[in-house]
Structure formats: C-alpha cells, structure tokens
Amino acid sequence: MRPILKILIVEDEPTARDSLRILLEKSRYDVIATSDRIEALEYLNRDDEPAQLIVANWMMPGTDGIELCKSIREDQTLPYCFIILLSIRTNSEDIIRGLDAGADDYLMKPYNPDVLRSRILAGTRILRLQRELESANQRLRIMASTDGLTSLLNRNAIMGVLNDEVARAQRDGTTMAVVMSDIDHFKKVNDVHGHIAGDHVLTEYSGRITAGLRTYDSVGRYGGEEFLIIMPNIPAEGAKDVVERLRYNVESTQFHADSQKLTITSSFGIAWGHPKDFGNQNDFIRTADNMMYQAKNQGRNCVRFSGLPAEADSAT
C-alpha cells in the first residue's frame, strides 16, 4: 500500500477539479481540493500538517498559479512542498516563468493521468530527500552546539545564550544572574578512579545541575569540570536560593564511579545585576569566575555572590 501523501489541488473549474480529485483518490492519496489561491493559502496556514505536494492550475480568475507559487515560497512559516503547475501554455518562456516563480514541475493540459502520477511519484522522492536533508542538518546543528559527554550546551553555544540574555535584559531593564560552577577536587577523581569514572561524575553532575534549574534557565559545559549557568529575570535573593539549592543537591547525593559511591562537592560564583552595570557579557563572566575562585579559596563547597562587576585586572 502506498504511504498516504496529502495533495492539495488548486483548480477553479469544478469539473476539472473533481476529475483530478477522483484520479488522485483512486491512487490512494489524501486529497484536499480548493478553487483559488486565497482558499489554498488559508488551508496551508490553517492545517497543522498541510499538504506536502500541490497540483495547481496556472490560469485562474483574479489570480493565477504563478502568484500562488510566489506566495508559498515567500511564506517562511510554511514547510517545503512540491508544486506541479498545470497549463495549456506551451512556450518555453512561460515554463521558465513558472519555474522561476517557485514551481518544481510543469505539465501541459490536457495531461496524461499516468504521466501525472509519475510526476507525483518523482515529487515524493524529492520530498523524502528534502526531509532527510532537513533531519541531517538538524542533527548537525545539535552536534555543533552540544557537549559530546554531558549533552549540555557546549562553550560556544552557552556563550551565545549569554549574549542573547544580556541583550534581552538590557532591552527589558531586568536583572540576571551568571553563575560559574566548578567540581571540587575533580583531578583526584581522575587520578584515583580513572578518567572513565571522571566522565561518569561529569555526566551525573550535569544532570543534577540541570534538574535544579528553572525551565527557562540555561546551563552549559564551559570547560573541563567548569559549568556556566545563566538565569534571566531573577532577583538577587532568588539567584542565591537557586544556587544554594544546587550546591546542597550535589553535596547530599552520592555519585557513582568505578563501582564506588563518591561524595562530590562544588563551588559556585554568582554575578548578578543589570547589564548596564556590568557593561558586557565578559564582565559577567569575569565576576562570576572571581566569585567562584573566592569560594575555592574559602574552603570550597560554598557559594559566593557579587552584584558589582570585577575589575578587568583582578581575574585569577
């Protein structure tokens, strides 16, 4: 049985429209029949899963298939669809106009039903290749922005989020928090239990951090055992409470490494405020980094907070 494919007919002449609908339904296609450009566009924008292939008449009162093709290709919200134009026009200039407007194929009237079915099958192959290409591109986008070990955002991606959130906070006049986190004594985990065990700890740690954040917060692996957390639109006390809860969750639950259970702690530095006070994203990073090193120097397993940007030459 042929997989069901939605086909949209755009044909103003009732007899021709019904004949085409019957032909396609006999070939086991899911057919939607419309009479003009406006009706077709209304359907495409209304249906959650619109037709993937369109068979449209060129000559229609008030508008034509050329304008329909242009409207569909200009609408970036619509998924890609394969368009076949039907027309009595036979000269090469008209065919070129149709293809330039966005049509994928062209068939002269009166058409041979078997030829039309073959053109539709060719269109389905192109649609399948298009879906495979989109899927591959999506996988590449995910790979390019994801840390391979923890599945968190990688450094470039989380810095992109930070840039966007700083711009948003500047525009909206809201406060935000940037948090730097580092696993305490992580080198000992690698030295004693091996790097595979260390990888397990990093993976578990990233999961616990993610689970403790708000749905609109972001976290990424900044490098090694360092993680960068971005919390938009949050008051100072709210940021402190969230990060303290993260610290406690890490400390109070055991990690698994090399068939052993380990107690892991981490140090956190918070930079909080309005972007206008910090200048740019680097000032947020610098301040959060300084606060994290203060936490390290003051015994680890704690949270340090600053609402003022650190001096550029004070980073350690």
DSSP classification of residue 56: E
Question: 61: how many CB neighbours lie within 10 A of its CB?
Answer: 9
C-alpha span between 5 and 30 (Å, rounded): 6
Ranking 68-77, 262-271, 296-305 by mean pLDDT, the lowest is 68-77
Q: Would you state the pLDDT for residue 15?
A: 94
Same fold, 6-143 and 155-314: no
Region 193-217 average pLDDT: 94
Task: Sketch the domain layout of the chain as residue ranges.
Answer: 6-143, 155-314
Asked if 51 and 84 touch (Cβ cutoff 8 Å), the reply is no
Q: Which fold has domain 6-143?
A: Rossmann fold (3.40.50)
Q: Would you state the pLDDT for residue 311?
A: 58
Angle between helices 155-172 and 281-297 (to 10 degrees): 110
With H, G, I as helix, E, B as strand and everything else as coil, classify residue 80: coil
Nearest to 17 by CA among 62, 57, 63, 65: 57
CA-to-CA dists, residue 227 to 30, 142, 222, 249, angstroms? 50, 19, 5, 16
Asked if CATH classification 3.30.70.270 holds for the domain at 155-314, the reply, yes or no, is: yes
**Average pLDDT, rounded, for the chain:** 91
Decide if pLDDT at 312 tops 60.
no
Q: Is 244 left (phi over 0), alpha (psi -120 to 50) or beta?
A: alpha
Band of the pLDDT at 315, cuts 50, 70, 90?
very low
Ranking 2-11, 128-137, 152-161, 224-233 by mean pLDDT, the lowest is 2-11
Question: 196: how many CB neighbours lie within 10 A of its CB?
Answer: 10
Q: Would you state the pLDDT for residue 53?
A: 97
Q: What pLDDT digit, counting tens, does each position of 168-182 carry?
A: 999 999 999 999 999
Please enumerate in sequence order all residues whose Cβ is within 8 A of that of 268, keeping only pairs 6 or more positions apart, or say none: 179, 180, 181, 243, 246, 247, 291, 292, 295, 302, 303, 304
In a 13 Å sphere around the CA of 120, the CA atoms on its Cβ side amount to 31
Band of the pLDDT at 205, cuts 50, 70, 90?
very high
Amino acid at residue number 170: Q
183: which strand partners? 266
Band of the pLDDT at 280, cuts 50, 70, 90?
confident
On the question of a cis peptide bond just before residue 110, with omega within 30 degrees of 0, the verdict is yes
223: which strand partners? 226
Asked if 44 and 7 touch (Cβ cutoff 8 Å), the reply is no
Q: Which residue has the higher pLDDT, 123 or 49?
A: 123
Report residue 204 as tokens.
């578990």
Region 95-123 average pLDDT: 93
Share of the chain above pLDDT 90, in %: 75
Q: In what order do the strands lie in the sheet with 218-223?
A: 218-223, 226-232, 176-183, 266-273, 303-306
Region 108-118 average pLDDT: 93
| pTM > 0.85 | no
Report residue 113 as tokens.
């039903």
Nearest to 177 by CA among 268, 246, 273, 269: 273
Region 209-231 average pLDDT: 96
Question: 31: how many CB neighbours lie within 10 A of its CB?
Answer: 18
Among the ranges 44-53, 191-200, 293-302, which has the highest mean pLDDT value? 293-302
Decide if pLDDT at 3 tops 60.
no
Decide if pLDDT at 2 tops 60.
no
**Residues with catalytic annotation?**
225
Share of the chain above pLDDT 70, in %: 97
Q: Would you state the pLDDT for residue 48?
A: 82
Decide if pLDDT at 130 tops 50.
yes
